[in-house]
Structure 1
């Protein structure tokens, strides 16, 4: 194969700590620090079992048996690229990972985040005085009417049919100008041992914020969520953990708030302005904001600022509303609007990518009896975190993706290279895809014994 015309004429220089090989090595080191729950001297180490699952999600294999079958003959590549000494079979991997809490993998996320911070890669993700936008939202990742575990949420219909499911609260740094998102560990929404009631998104969001603050006590955050989030207990949680917020609201769900807004408009307290889009004069942006309104009738002392926004195009009208604890001024209203609308990044660039672009989020990799499903979705998110970090700041990954155009084509080519060639590093794999490589006549391995 000849090098692509679009490929650069010289090798791309990589940053020492912000390239694929360095990040995967860092993940392996963090896994080695996790205590093995088993006694004695097992044949397969805990780090190898965890790294096998991480490699499966990194390579976008659709199931544990598929991973075992497809890569069993590629031990060299698994060792060279993922530093796995002995690959765990699907049953062994399930048994080992079922015994540990998903929280033991949080330091691996923290290490990737620290590398991005130290390398100034996250500077491009900040707004309003160096704050990061943290988008929170829930999604389901398992549902069945037949298969279930004790951890599954349960919903019984009017006809008596029970549906079992697992959900998670996702959290990711997002930015209006970047498609890359930087995810944090997910908070699984599940039944705990002995519970008779389902867990819920509100409880999971509180745990998510608390755990994130434990891991990252000093980063400045603006939390953005959907219209289910603006309630007094949740806002008090955000304040307690030093998080600013821009939360969606709807007139139908927050009638008291909008009644007070109408009163303020009648009193002349509202500020309104509009402007045409620079790139499309036919698109108009209308803003109205009112500061210092009560959130609801039950909590009149909890004051918020209301921002309303209308986008008018020849195709129709879009309307959005948010409440925030940030004082709204004409100078920051557009930025606050963009922060609120950036919430969709966790839907489009996170959950949609995990479900539809090769990660197989909704596939049942295994429920286990204790923690397996939560551990596997956490390791999937960790593999996604590494991929997104490379998308944000690794020029080699960016160039390969640009050449192959779609993520699906990228993952397919990576798996093909992994199967057909003896590789020494992820860098070698990426450079072969970017610059091209010689196709040789296969050497038939006859058995002459």
Structure 2
């Protein structure tokens, strides 16, 4: 007999109970408390950035502007115009005044004021603020239990397209050729786009934050997409090592990064790696693995993973394949019922972590977790609350800064979603949580009692 699924608490709460719980929700106060708890110095960090504006014409602090941009993202406000309309409330002004520490703030900044500022601000400034936030989280040791094998911080890298144009928007546009039917004939047309390579840090099963960003910009119209992304990866990895020299990293990526150049970089930095293995990418390794496995050289472990599938591994395949970099290869497979049919699924990875029967299951789960950057990273940011493909400005520099503000906001938002008592109790969807946060920001006045609650030491329990 199959086990009956236990009902979630949200399933047996009455509608009346849910309404009462929602009335007690003070989302914006919780956001302020968490920001103060984890990033107490955030307003100071923002105001310490190199200000591109002339002091004589400065009305708003840098913290005012960036925090307003962060709230736009967290409240799922899609456009700059909508931000102006939604944030034009006395409660919003009062809350931003407390958040930024700017006691002179009397009006919310205009959307054009924010864009003008972001057009001139160096993206490196916001990247430095993000770095301080990440280091603050790592130092608190709140997330140490999620490290791979109790030691390694998992860093997942992947690229995605952000903006697409029919005509060249700026000098940083990448170009691709598409085939379209025009007047009954196939015509090749150039299309322009912006792309980004993102490194995400896995803090917990449901918290995956931006660690670093490399904007992939036009090098040469003849450079292939893959070459562009690999070159960007080299720059990104070099900067990660410079910024976090003592952080024990396990790099994860798709088959594009399963190249000896990337593996060599990891060895030089003392990092571990788990990379998707495909025969088309590392043919010699794939053939050597199959040859050794056919000869009985592979070790198998059954009944692992949430599907109770089977795992298999062979260490040091590089010795047979004649490769220089360590290649311990493992795979996982299982069958599942889909549309009345048994469907087989198989995954394979390459690593430089010595594989054993004891660590194989954790390594499989880590390898499959690479999808998190797509499912909980880019997909959520594109289709969820942030809508990162929306063009807030056509200026290339402002585009970068808007993207970085989204990543900074997402760090706070993911912590809030993991903490939110209302979301835990009633199973509220993320989009609804953002909608309620906007309503809280617009309607709720932050009292002196709230300020006292925000400032005092609080133990924060995350999922």
Q: Does 1:89 align with 2:117?
A: no
* 1:289–1:425 Cα change, 3 Å: farther
1:137-185 deviation digits (Å, cap 9, x = unpaired)? 111121121472222211133533221111111222227x712213213
**Higher helix fraction: Structure 1 or Structure 2?**
2
Q: Residues 155-170 of structure 1 correspond to what in structure 2 (within 5 A)? A: 155-158=176-179, 159-170=187-198
Matched with 1:206 is 234
Partner SS for 1:252: coil
- CA distance in structure 1 between the partners assigned to 2:81 and 2:66 by the alignment: 16
Q: CA deviation at 1:89?
A: 1.9
Could you tell me which runs of 5 or more consecutive residues in structure 2 were left unpaired when the two chains were aligned: 1-15, 180-186, 455-463
* 1:162–1:415 Cα change, 3 Å: same
- The question of whether the paired residues in 2 share the 8 Å contact of 1:81 and 1:424 is answered with no
Matched with 1:107 is 128
- Choose 166-175 or 83-92, whichever is displaced more: 83-92
1:367-422 deviation digits (Å, cap 9, x = unpaired)? 31x51111110110110011123344x4xx24445436111111111112222333
Partner SS for 1:417: helix
Q: 2:77 aligns with which of 44, 49, 61?
A: 61
* 1:309–1:31 Cα change, 3 Å: same
Q: CA deviation at 1:263?
A: 2.2
* 1:206–1:189 Cα change, 3 Å: same
- CA distance in structure 1 between the partners assigned to 2:207 and 2:344 by the alignment: 28
- CA distance in structure 2 between the partners assigned to 1:338 and 1:208 by the alignment: 25
- The question of whether the paired residues in 1 share the 8 Å contact of 2:259 and 2:281 is answered with no
- CA distance in structure 1 between the partners assigned to 2:397 and 2:222 by the alignment: 18
Q: What is the TM-score when the length of structure 2 is the normalising length?
A: 0.80
- The question of whether the paired residues in 2 share the 8 Å contact of 1:26 and 1:108 is answered with no
Matched with 1:70 is 86
Q: CA deviation at 1:231?
A: 0.6
Partner SS for 1:302: coil
- CA distance in structure 1 between the partners assigned to 2:388 and 2:345 by the alignment: 31
Matched with 2:10 is none
Matched with 2:411 is 385
Matched with 2:153 is 132
Matched with 1:333 is 360
Matched with 2:65 is 49
- The question of whether the paired residues in 2 share the 8 Å contact of 1:20 and 1:427 is answered with no
Q: 1:413 aligns with which of 430, 436, 440?
A: 436
Q: Does 1:375 align with 2:401?
A: yes
- CA distance in structure 2 between the partners assigned to 1:303 and 1:33 by the alignment: 44
Q: Does 1:360 align with 2:387?
A: yes
Q: CA deviation at 1:326?
A: 0.8
Q: What is the root-mean-square deviation in Å for CA atoms of aligned residues?
A: 3.4
Matched with 1:434 is none
- The question of whether the paired residues in 2 share the 8 Å contact of 1:18 and 1:116 is answered with no
Q: Does 1:285 align with 2:277?
A: no
Matched with 2:169 is 148
Q: 1:217 aligns with which of 236, 245, 248?
A: 245
Q: CA deviation at 1:113?
A: 2.3
1:204-258 deviation digits (Å, cap 9, x = unpaired)? 2222222222222212111111111101111112222222001001123332211
Could you tell me which runs of 5 or more consecutive residues in structure 1 were left unpaired when the two chains were aligned: 432-449
* 1:17–1:354 Cα change, 3 Å: closer
Partner SS for 2:176: strand
